[in-house]
């Protein structure tokens, strides 16, 4: 039996001429009431399939540093700029990040101030520095290569070694760096002879198919290279906005007016700008168009000087959060909404040499199941007997960018240009402009996003019923913190809302030093527990009834959940037979697949998969062993993950330990199965209860796409070569996702296959094939087009900072799995500097912009976001700056974040509330003004709230009005010696009610998590430091730069 998940080719021309039944249904996705497929009760399950893991072959941060470009820039007319503003840059708040509660000592030896990243003694005429960065040849990380050594085979519940499948090297081809000739005043033309682009070596992909799950046809390359490809017909252009059209440029600049220069640097005036109109890329010499070309910040001090010359106020800040590039839809109205797919730049470079000068990652963030506003649901199309219409050659799904010819009898594929026959059932006449007359009735021809009902040929087995299996640690640690009670009650409260009624399956396995199976047979009145203590040869004590139909066994399930907390009330067992329990869960679930939810409160200590208390190790930091702390300690976990994915099982981990519990190892189960890691360090029911309840309930009740695979096809000349997120690669470009939902996004990097792109437009198509909870096979398809350009400036202008930083964050987190934290941070910084330097070189000389940091409007927040990334929990500092488990959990979390949540996490919101609470209106959208993330914004008379999307912190100023305090707490603060245990009550007064409404408002911004609200008083150390001050990323904290210092560093490094 093969698992599902195959986009099975078929549908060659000549299908039967049955009446076309189709039509489109305006049914919201995820709520269909499709055919109910009966769920066979599971038989006695002992998985015997030979184990052959499908190792994921993503690459670590794989772009090679560019070779030094030996151009010598013209001397800059840098003029000292003496700001009349207060010298805010040297302000120090006097705060040093406190050691975390673990009382680690923070030693200077393990932190290097970012100032040392790159030399900053740049002078105006210096040569480009060779990047001080480790050579590109990084050793492969164990996470990214298949487990070394014997893997295991399930046979009768025990493991046997078996030989390993070969790995597939993945990753973009090494970029060839263009050797720049010495620079003249003119920006070099990308196709000028000074560039000597060489085609990069193509990565060698073998047709790697894991475990025999994928029909050979799926491993075929998208475009069998030997076939001649005909040129696109002229008709193609009628659906594609013209590249030359001014409308494309219309939204450049002017959207956000550039901030006025602070002060006027001597020697730089508007008049001088006007003197060189013809040299600027803005033809016509219009001042406005010049302003639209770039933004800049005055940096008045001489390079190398310590005097800050940047005005704090003038620094760009993303105070409105993510700005979706919805303007793309103005130029490409047939594209899917950017919430589903965002390119890092909506202008694809036309050549390898041009790409080499972009320096930032070229790629996309794909969020296939992003939640949509009401009324914009993705429409469902059922082709009925005509079958899903796809290109015969490249398997692209029919979409709004295909063109019809031959009086409607043929259609041309927009990805590979092949002329396909229109099936008889699908025929429609064309109007005078060559469009089909029925286009308005056909979402697949008029909408960028659509969902097809997949016929049986897209199934290898009948769609399985949704199933939920719970693996619950009941050792003393779990009992003591109140976890069992909350878990049982929350699951019980969600039973009515579990997706898939009436087919939903459910089961439980509890464990400490032994495994406890629970018979939930519907004929029982109470569940029966069977204990298996033999951990070496795990077997199922019962062939059936460990995973049961929820509707049939509802009363037994409820009885089990009611008794669960008391069942283990006095349990003093400290051991955890986690690995054997995982084996047992696999045996129960392997036939149906589904979701495995793991609740783990301690370090696995018994049987296979037991983990060492390796903990964090100060001595490893700064050495080439550092990264090993952040990767799984035992290949068992990745092998199990591979086995789970093969059986369509997704794993979510809820981890609660107050001690080290090796999140690095446990999390890999979620990473390779499309799952998620929830971490509640030092869980206490009283403080974390609400958050945990909410997040568990969301996990259980959110809609799921089951048994899914995703592939992103691209037009000629480009292809996605690396993927970053939680999934397992089933072939070079097929992502296996046993379960996926609206909270998961994926990053991917794009490579140019040809030296020179010959098309004007490149197309992308995301296809997610999945089983809905109702048991219907569906294909969700998002299609987008982007222009191919030969102008480097345009590539920068069309950059999407949100997509860039989301992709950079994923690359940086992956990089920490094979390198030092310091190296991962440096690499991101280097990319930023190179891109700004490249951009600067386009414009600086002809506009005499020495002394200014130049950047495109589109990237104005990127320097700040890169700083935020370097200061994020996953990447910051070293040993003393984040507990290892929390760092690893944060890393797993970042890998799946959609763009909006990533940006909120990187640059959280800070709002002053005292006036809003006492005077403001209820319209929080307007009354909540986001502030710069610096302690300078904190007024001792104020009340502030800080919100990073995961937690909120309320900060009470020392001189905050006692009336407000009383209104909120019902007492004065002296009655609360320990604010860490205080829960905000809702009191019967307007201030308290309004505060609750603010919290609700912030939480509703993001339904995927529950923001724990913590309260801290000004000066209450160390809590104030860890909860708020160390997160004010614009300030200098131990070993990190302030925003101003950062900008100065970037400015210095990007000169030359």
- The nearest distance, CB 403 to Zn ion, in angstroms, is 12
**Count of other CB atoms within 10 angstroms of residue 377:** 16
Which tokens belong to 60?
A: 């670590």
| 416 vs 799 by CB, closer to Zn ion | 416
The count of chain residues that interact with Zn ion, using the rule CB under 5 A, is: 8
Cβ(555)–Cβ(525) below 8 Å: yes
Under rule CB under 5 A, residue 416 binds Zn ion: yes
| 426 vs 508 by CB, closer to Zn ion | 426
Long-range own/partner contacts, residues 973-978 (CB < 8 A, 24 or more apart)? 973/1017
| 394 vs 805 by CB, closer to Zn ion | 394
| 714 vs 875 by CB, closer to Zn ion | 714
Among residues 696, 711, 695, which one has the least CA distance to residue 746? 711
**Count of other CB atoms within 10 angstroms of residue 973:** 17
Under rule CB under 5 A, residue 398 binds Zn ion: no
- The nearest distance, CB 416 to Zn ion, in angstroms, is 3
Under rule CB under 5 A, residue 803 binds Zn ion: no
DSSP character string of 789-838: ES-HHHHHHTB-HHHHHHHHHHHHHHHTTTS-HHHHHHHHHHHHHHHHHH
| 414 vs 953 by CB, closer to Zn ion | 414
Binding mask 336-375 for Zn ion (x = CB under 5 A): ----------------------------------------
Indicate the helix (H) or strand (E) that contains 787: strand 777-789
Alpha-carbon distances of 945 from 146, 316, 528, rounded to whole Å: 45, 21, 49
DSSP character string of 92-108: -----PPPPTT-PPP-G
**From 391-399, 441-449, 592-600, 877-885, span contacting Zn ion (CB under 5 A):** 391-399
- The nearest distance, CB 756 to Zn ion, in angstroms, is 21
| 763 vs 955 by CB, closer to Zn ion | 763
- The nearest distance, CB 393 to Zn ion, in angstroms, is 5
**From 206-214, 312-320, 388-396, 849-857, span contacting Zn ion (CB under 5 A):** 388-396
**CA 677/CA 362 separation, integer angstroms:** 28
**From 412-420, 713-721, 807-815, 926-934, span contacting Zn ion (CB under 5 A):** 412-420
- The nearest distance, CB 1045 to Zn ion, in angstroms, is 52
Footprint of Zn ion on residues 817-846 (CB under 5 A)? none
Under rule CB under 5 A, residue 396 binds Zn ion: yes
Cβ(975)–Cβ(992) below 8 Å: no
433 contacts: CB under 8 Å, gap ≥ 6:
238
What sign does the dihedral 94-99-105-111 (CA atoms) show? Answer: negative
> Which one of residues 413, 506, 550, 867 is an interface residue with Zn ion (CB under 5 A)?
413
- Please report where in the chains the tokens 């912190």 appear, as a residue: 953
277 contacts: CB under 8 Å, gap ≥ 6:
284, 285, 286, 290
**CA 387/CA 418 separation, integer angstroms:** 19
| 788 vs 864 by CB, closer to Zn ion | 788
Helix axes 884-896, 663-671, angle to 10 degrees: 10
- The nearest distance, CB 414 to Zn ion, in angstroms, is 8
Under rule CB under 5 A, residue 781 binds Zn ion: no
| 396 vs 819 by CB, closer to Zn ion | 396
| 478 vs 718 by CB, closer to Zn ion | 718
| 229 vs 287 by CB, closer to Zn ion | 229
**CA 496/CA 271 separation, integer angstroms:** 71
| 117 vs 763 by CB, closer to Zn ion | 763
> Which one of residues 22, 394, 459, 484 is an interface residue with Zn ion (CB under 5 A)?
394
- The nearest distance, CB 783 to Zn ion, in angstroms, is 12
Under rule CB under 5 A, residue 910 binds Zn ion: no
- The nearest distance, CB 328 to Zn ion, in angstroms, is 23
Cβ(361)–Cβ(398) below 8 Å: no
- The nearest distance, CB 391 to Zn ion, in angstroms, is 3
Cβ(630)–Cβ(684) below 8 Å: no
Cβ(927)–Cβ(987) below 8 Å: no
- The nearest distance, CB 395 to Zn ion, in angstroms, is 7
| 328 vs 391 by CB, closer to Zn ion | 391
Alpha-carbon distances of 575 from 248, 418, 532, 906, rounded to whole Å: 64, 62, 15, 38
Footprint of Zn ion on residues 570-609 (CB under 5 A)? none
Among residues 901, 467, 481, which one has the least CA distance to residue 654? 481
**From 349-357, 409-417, 507-515, 1044-1052, span contacting Zn ion (CB under 5 A):** 409-417
Alpha-carbon distances of 471 from 442, 583, 589, 762, rounded to whole Å: 46, 11, 12, 46
| 301 vs 414 by CB, closer to Zn ion | 414
**From 232-240, 327-335, 347-355, 416-424, span contacting Zn ion (CB under 5 A):** 416-424
**CA 335/CA 332 separation, integer angstroms:** 6
**CA 681/CA 665 separation, integer angstroms:** 16
Which tokens belong to 244?
A: 């030359």
- The nearest distance, CB 409 to Zn ion, in angstroms, is 17
- The nearest distance, CB 368 to Zn ion, in angstroms, is 21
Binding mask 417-436 for Zn ion (x = CB under 5 A): -x------------------
- The nearest distance, CB 906 to Zn ion, in angstroms, is 38
Before 534, cis peptide (omega within 30)?
Answer: no
**CA 1016/CA 959 separation, integer angstroms:** 14
Which tokens belong to 732?
A: 């070079």
**From 33-41, 287-295, 322-330, 408-416, span contacting Zn ion (CB under 5 A):** 408-416
Helix axes 635-646, 663-671, angle to 10 degrees: 20
**From 22-30, 384-392, 853-861, 1016-1024, span contacting Zn ion (CB under 5 A):** 384-392
Under rule CB under 5 A, residue 391 binds Zn ion: yes
- The nearest distance, CB 419 to Zn ion, in angstroms, is 10
**From 264-272, 395-403, 609-617, 864-872, span contacting Zn ion (CB under 5 A):** 395-403
| 393 vs 436 by CB, closer to Zn ion | 393
| 39 vs 402 by CB, closer to Zn ion | 402
**CA 641/CA 54 separation, integer angstroms:** 9
| 516 vs 713 by CB, closer to Zn ion | 713
Alpha-carbon distances of 314 from 83, 306, 936, 1050, rounded to whole Å: 12, 19, 15, 16
**Count of other CB atoms within 10 angstroms of residue 14:** 9
**From 410-418, 504-512, 574-582, 746-754, span contacting Zn ion (CB under 5 A):** 410-418
**From 18-26, 33-41, 390-398, 816-824, span contacting Zn ion (CB under 5 A):** 390-398
The DSSP bridge partners found for residue 364 are: 343, 748
- The nearest distance, CB 417 to Zn ion, in angstroms, is 7
- The nearest distance, CB 225 to Zn ion, in angstroms, is 14
- The nearest distance, CB 221 to Zn ion, in angstroms, is 13
Which tokens belong to 380?
A: 């469902």
- The nearest distance, CB 759 to Zn ion, in angstroms, is 13
| 393 vs 840 by CB, closer to Zn ion | 393
Q: How far is C-alpha 748 from the chain's CA centre?
A: 10
| 396 vs 798 by CB, closer to Zn ion | 396
- Which stretches of the chain bind Zn ion, using CB under 5 A? 391, 393-394, 396, 413, 415-416, 418
């Amino acid at each position: 039996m093969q698992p599902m998940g195959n986009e099975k080719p078929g549908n060659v021309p000549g299908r039967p001429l049955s009446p076309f039944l189709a039509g489109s249904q305006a049914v919201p996705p995820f709520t269909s009431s499709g055919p109910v497929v009966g769920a066979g009760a599971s038989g006695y399950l002992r998985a015997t399939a030979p184990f052959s893991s499908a190792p994921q072959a993503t690459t670590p941060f794989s772009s090679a540093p560019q070779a030094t470009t030996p151009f010598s820039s013209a001397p800059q007319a840098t003029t000292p700029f003496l700001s009349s503003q207060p010298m805010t840059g040297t302000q120090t708040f006097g705060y040093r990040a406190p050691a975390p509660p673990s009382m680690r000592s923070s030693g200077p030896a393990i932190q290097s101030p970012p100032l040392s990243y790159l030399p900053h003694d740049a002078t105006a005429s210096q040569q480009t520095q060779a990047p001080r960065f480790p050579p590109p040849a990084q050793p492969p990380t164990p996470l990214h290569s298949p487990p070394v050594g014997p893997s295991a085979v399930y046979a009768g519940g025990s493991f046997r070694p078996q030989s390993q499948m070969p790995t597939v090297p993945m990753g973009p081809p090494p970029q060839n760096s263009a050797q720049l000739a010495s620079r003249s005043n003119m920006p070099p033309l990308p196709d000028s002879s000074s560039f000597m682009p060489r085609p990069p070596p193509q990565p060698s992909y073998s047709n790697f198919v894991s475990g025999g799950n994928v029909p050979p046809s799926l491993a075929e390359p998208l475009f069998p290279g030997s076939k001649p490809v005909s040129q696109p017909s002229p008709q193609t252009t009628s659906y594609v906005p013209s590249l030359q059209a001014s409308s494309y440029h219309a939204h450049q600049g002017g959207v956000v007016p550039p901030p006025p220069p602070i002060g006027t640097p001597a020697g730089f005036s508007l008049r001088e700008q006007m003197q060189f109109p013809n040299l600027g890329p803005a033809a016509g010499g219009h001042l406005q168009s010049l302003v639209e070309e770039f933004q800049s910040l005055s940096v008045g001090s001489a390079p190398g000087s310590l005097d800050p010359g940047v005005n704090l106020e003038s620094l760009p800040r993303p105070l409105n959060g993510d700005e979706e590039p919805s303007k793309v839809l103005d130029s490409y109205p047939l594209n899917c909404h950017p919430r589903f797919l965002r390119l890092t730049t909506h202008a694809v470079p036309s050549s390898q040499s041009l790409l080499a000068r972009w320096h930032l990652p070229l790629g996309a963030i794909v969020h296939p199941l992003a939640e949509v506003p009401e009324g914009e649901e993705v429409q469902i199309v059922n082709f009925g007997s005509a079958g899903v219409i796809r290109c015969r050659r490249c398997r692209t799904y029919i979409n709004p960018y295909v063109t019809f010819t031959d009086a409607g009898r043929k259609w041309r594929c927009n990805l590979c240009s092949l002329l396909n026959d229109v099936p008889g059932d699908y025929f429609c006449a064309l109007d005078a402009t060559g469009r089909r007359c029925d286009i308005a009735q056909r979402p697949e021809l008029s909408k960028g996003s659509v969902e097809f009902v997949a016929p049986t040929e897209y199934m290898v087995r009948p769609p399985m019923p949704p199933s939920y299996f719970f693996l619950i640690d009941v050792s003393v640690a779990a009992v003591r913190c109140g976890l069992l009670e909350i878990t049982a009650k929350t699951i019980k409260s969600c039973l009515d809302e579990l997706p898939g009624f009436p087919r939903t399956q459910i089961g439980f396995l509890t464990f400490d030093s032994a495994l406890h199976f629970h018979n939930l047979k519907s004929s029982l009145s109470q569940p029966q527990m069977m204990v298996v203590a033999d951990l070496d040869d795990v077997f199922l004590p019962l062939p059936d009834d460990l995973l049961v139909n929820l509707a049939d066994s509802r009363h037994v399930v409820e009885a089990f959940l009611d008794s669960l907390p008391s069942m283990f009330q006095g349990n003093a067992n400290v051991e955890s037979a986690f690995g054997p329990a995982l084996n047992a869960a696999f045996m129960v679930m392997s036939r149906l697949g589904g979701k495995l939810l793991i609740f783990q409160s301690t370090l696995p200590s018994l049987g296979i998969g037991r983990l060492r208390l390796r903990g964090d190790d100060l001595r490893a930091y700064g050495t080439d062993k550092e990264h090993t702390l952040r990767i799984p300690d035992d290949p068992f976990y990745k092998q199990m993950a591979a086995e789970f994915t093969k059986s369509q099982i997704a794993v979510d981990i809820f981890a609660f330990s107050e001690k080290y519990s090796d999140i690095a190892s446990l999390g890999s189960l979620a990473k390779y199965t499309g799952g998620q890691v929830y971490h509640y360090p030092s869980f206490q029911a009283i403080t974390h209860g609400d958050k945990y309840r909410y997040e568990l309930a969301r996990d259980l009740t959110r809609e799921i796409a089951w048994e899914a695979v995703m592939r992103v096809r691209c037009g000629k000349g480009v292809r996605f070569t690396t993927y970053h997120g939680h999934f397992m690669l089933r072939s070079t470009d097929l992502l296996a996702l046993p379960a996926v939902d609206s909270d998961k996004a994926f990053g991917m990097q794009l490579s140019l296959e040809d030296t020179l792109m010959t098309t004007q437009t490149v197309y992308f198509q995301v296809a997610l094939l999945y089983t809905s909870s109702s048991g219907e096979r569906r294909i969700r398809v998002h299609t987008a087009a982007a222009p191919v350009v030969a102008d480097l400036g345009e590539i920068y202008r069309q950059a999407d900072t949100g997509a860039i930083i989301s992709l950079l964050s994923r690359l940086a987190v992956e990089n920490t799995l094979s390198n030092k934290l310091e190296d991962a941070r440096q690499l991101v910084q280097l990319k930023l500097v190179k891109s700004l330097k490249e951009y600067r070189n386009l414009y600086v000389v002809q506009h005499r912009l020495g002394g200014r940091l130049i950047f495109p409007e589109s990237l104005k927040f990127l320097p700040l976001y890169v700083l935020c990334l370097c200061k994020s929990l996953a990447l910051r500092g070293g040993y003393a700056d984040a507990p290892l488990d929390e760092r690893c959990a944060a890393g797993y979390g970042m890998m799946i974040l959609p763009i909006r949540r990533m940006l909120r996490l990187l640059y959280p919101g800070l709002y002053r509330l005292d006036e809003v609470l006492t005077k403001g209106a209820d319209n929080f959208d307007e009354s909540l003004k986001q502030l710069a993330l610096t302690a300078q914004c904190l007024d001792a008379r104020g009340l502030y709230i800080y919100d990073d999307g995961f937690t909120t912190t309320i900060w009470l100023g020392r001189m905050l009005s006692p009336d407000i305090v009383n209104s909120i707490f019902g007492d004065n603060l002296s009655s609360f010696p320990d604010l860490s245990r205080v829960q905000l009550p809702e009191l019967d007064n307007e201030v308290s009610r309004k505060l609750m409404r603010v919290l609700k408002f912030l939480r509703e911004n993001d339904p995927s998590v529950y923001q724990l609200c913590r309260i801290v008083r000004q000066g209450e150390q160390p809590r104030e430091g860890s909860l708020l001050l160390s997160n004010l990323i614009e300030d200098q904290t131990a070993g990190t730069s302030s925003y101003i210092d950062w900008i100065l560093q970037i400015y210095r490094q990007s000169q030359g």
